[in-house]
Structure 1
Amino acid sequence: MTHRILTLFFVINFVILGTVAFGEITVISPQDANQLIEQTDETRRPIVLDTRGGYKDYFRGHLPTAHHINFGTLRGTDNGVPVQYLPDDLTAALLVRAGVDKDRTHLVYATGDVLPNDEILSATMVAYVLEKFGVTDIRIVDGGLAEWKAQGLPVTQKYFGNPEGDLPTAMNKEIGVNLDKLLSRKDKSDVVLVDARPHNEYIGEDDIWVRKGHISGAINFHWARLMEEENTHKFLPYSMVKSDLEKAGLTPDKEIIVYCGTSREGSLLRFYLRHVAKFPNVRLYEGSWKEYASLEQYPAETKSN
């Protein structure tokens, strides 16, 4: 009997601990996020990051204790290609300055609204950068600021500056791929390459990119199909989109590489597949179409796959 009890104890603890560890990068409701912010013990309060690109939006109102970290500051032109991720040392300095800390929970959010508002993409992009730098406790506030206000939760205009953070010693670069890795993997039978942009950009009916179309072999799954129509910051339950993902060939047994125009849309699709749907092997091609399209030696296509 004692042996059976001990066995059950270890099994329960394994399941609980495993679930908690796996769920630390996830979605959190505004009510639960507010409870974390209102904790009396300051050392246990989360680092709240407002990722919006418009600093005046932050001035107009934000979550209590929110520190503004404009997502755009994490990228710049490299070798002529715009909006590439900064070198690690520069990114690390910006994250430390924002208070990112290996021992704290991080609440990440932006504005919630209907399309063409896509501020959620700044939240998932910053969440991706945090995860790449080894942070393991990240929660995206479901519904963003719009849902926060709709639930009558407090908003402030007061600035909040975090003390300097302390980043993890080890990075988690395996969640992304560079161009060489993409080229070596994208045509494998067990790999699905998926473009997260709107369909018109995928087939080249746009005025944006230096080359039209998409990476050869890529399928298209627009990120907005995973979000509520009336609030593009609010994630649909996996049960509601599971069939659509399966029809597109996006299943947990596959290795999935996602990309988009500049990596923001891809960061949302990756976040959903990895941390909402719990797919085990999903990575982001960071260079995305902006890099690939500039390299004319590599094939592109405009037909749908």
Structure 2
Amino acid sequence: MKSILTLLSVALLSSAAQAEIGLITCAEAKTLIENPDASKRPIVLDTRGGYKDYFRGHLPTAHHINFDTLRGTNEAVPVQYLPDDITQALLVRAGVDKNRLHLVYATGDVLPNDEILSTSMVVYVLEKFGVQNIKVVDGGLAEWKKQGFAAIQDYFGNPKGTLPEKGITTITANISDVQAHVGKPGNLLIDARPINEFRGEDDVWLRKGHIPGAISFHWARLMEKDNTHKFKPFAEVKAELEKACITPDKNIIAYCGTSREGSLLQFYLKHVAGYPNVRLYEGAWKEYVWLNNKSLPAETGGDPAGVK
């Protein structure tokens, strides 16, 4: 009887997890990974940039896909997304499959740890290429260990996957989309970077500041302080988002420096908060400051949205 209930639990979890893109607890992820039927286990993707971190320990059956292998310099602009055919080949090689559930994770700790951004970026790429059965393991490897679950060191390679025939274009935005977006009623442009970069008080960027018309909402405001891979419940941040005028009736484009921070805002607003119209400006500030002979307008100063 107990084994029947266990199998039923796995079946129910699998059905629920495949319904949409979103979050899954470590306990739920563990149950799915341990499904007695190997053909029904999820594809587990470890997105960390540090391959030695993967060697030190990872979730059972996790395949390592370094998030930064999906980007490279193009026309002098660093860390641009690769051409579609190359990205598709990398995803197929990682075992991404239109018919399977995908569990995606990295690790978590207090800031400045930002590995969750590697995860949200990979989730964005998967969604862009049409994959819609994706769950972020909430809390990542840090929460996995906190729950008393073991990390392993064995390598796991997925067989080649199969991508959907069509991608999803409604989540992407280019510079023309951004320029047409700014200043129109009901539209919102959100800068997900830390406030010092938004203000132009940094040593990072070729040009300083932010895209005129953007508001500042740092991605870390959505995460738990003791685990930067663990998301705050929407009920906990709803008032904060509303105070910043980030509401579901808005047509939203998120951006950041290289599109990782913006991808987290896109993921949270669309797949956790349920906002219907959220896109990511893929080129990000790294592209914006370079275009048109560095002549596109920039603003400096400003305060975080909804914070006095």
Range class of TM-score, shorter chain: over 0.9
Q: Give a deviation string over 1:212-251, Cα, whole Å, max 9, x none.
A: 0000000000000000000000000111111111111100
Residue 157 (structure 2) pairs with residue 161 (structure 1) = yes
**Kindly, what percent of the aligned residue pairs are identical?**
67
- What residue number does 1:304 align with? 302
The 3-state SS of whatever aligns with 2:104 is strand
**How many corresponding residue pairs?**
287
Distance, in Å, in 2 between the alignment partners of 1:266 and 1:22 is: 24
Distance 1:161 1:93 in 2: 15
User: Which amino acid letter does the alignment assign opposite residue 181 of structure 2?
Assistant: R
Question: Amino acid of the residue matched to residue 194 of structure 1?
Answer: I
Q: How many Å separate the matches in 1 of 2:42 and 2:17?
A: 17
User: How far apart in 2 are the matches of 1:153 and 1:77?
Assistant: 39
Query: What residue in structure 2 maps to residue 185 of structure 1?
Result: 181
Q: Which of 243, 259, 265 matches 1:263?
A: 259
For 2:76, the aligned partner's letter is: G
Matches within 5 A, 1:40-119: 40-119=36-115
Residue 116 of structure 2 aligns with an amino acid whose one-letter code is I
Output the CA distance in 2 between the equivalents of 1:218 and 1:22. 35
2:137 to 114, 137, 141: 141
Provide the C-alpha distance between the structure 2 equivalents of 1:178 and 1:145, rounded to a whole number of angstroms: 33
Q: Which moved more, 1:22-31 or 1:250-259?
A: 22-31
Q: How do 1:17-32 residues align onto structure 2 when only pairs under 5 Å count?
A: 24-32=20-28
Query: Match of 1:301, as an amino acid?
Result: E
Deviation at 1:120, TM superposition (A): 0.3
Query: Which of 244, 250, 272 in structure 1 is aligned with 2:246?
Result: 250
Rounded to whole Å, the distance in 1 between the matches of 2:215 and 2:67 is 27
Q: Tell me the secondary structure at the aligned position of residue 92 of structure 1.
A: helix
The separation in 1 between residues aligned to 2:167 and 2:39, in whole angstroms, is 24
TM-score w.r.t. length of structure 2:
0.91
Kept after mapping to 2: 8 A contact 1:102/1:168 = yes
Change (3 A) 1:155 1:21: closer
List per-residue Cα deviations over 1:179-203 (Å, max 9, x = no partner). Answer: 1111111221110000000000000
Distance 1:299 1:149 in 2: 46
Q: Which one-letter code corresponds to 1:29 in the other structure?
A: T
State which drifts further: 50-59 or 286-295. Answer: 286-295
TM-score normalised to structure 1 length: 0.92
Task: Point out 4+ residue stretches in structure 1 off by more than 4 angstroms.
Answer: 19-23
State the superposition RMSD in angstroms.
Answer: 1.3
Per the alignment, residue 283 of structure 1 pairs with 279
- Which aligned pairs between 1:188-227 and structure 2 lie closer than 5 A? 188-227=184-223
- Secondary structure of the corresponding residue to residue 228 of structure 2: strand
Once residues 20 and 110 of structure 2 are traced to their aligned partners in structure 1, the CA distance between those partners, rounded to angstroms, is 27
Structure 2, unaligned runs of 5 or more: 1-14, 304-308
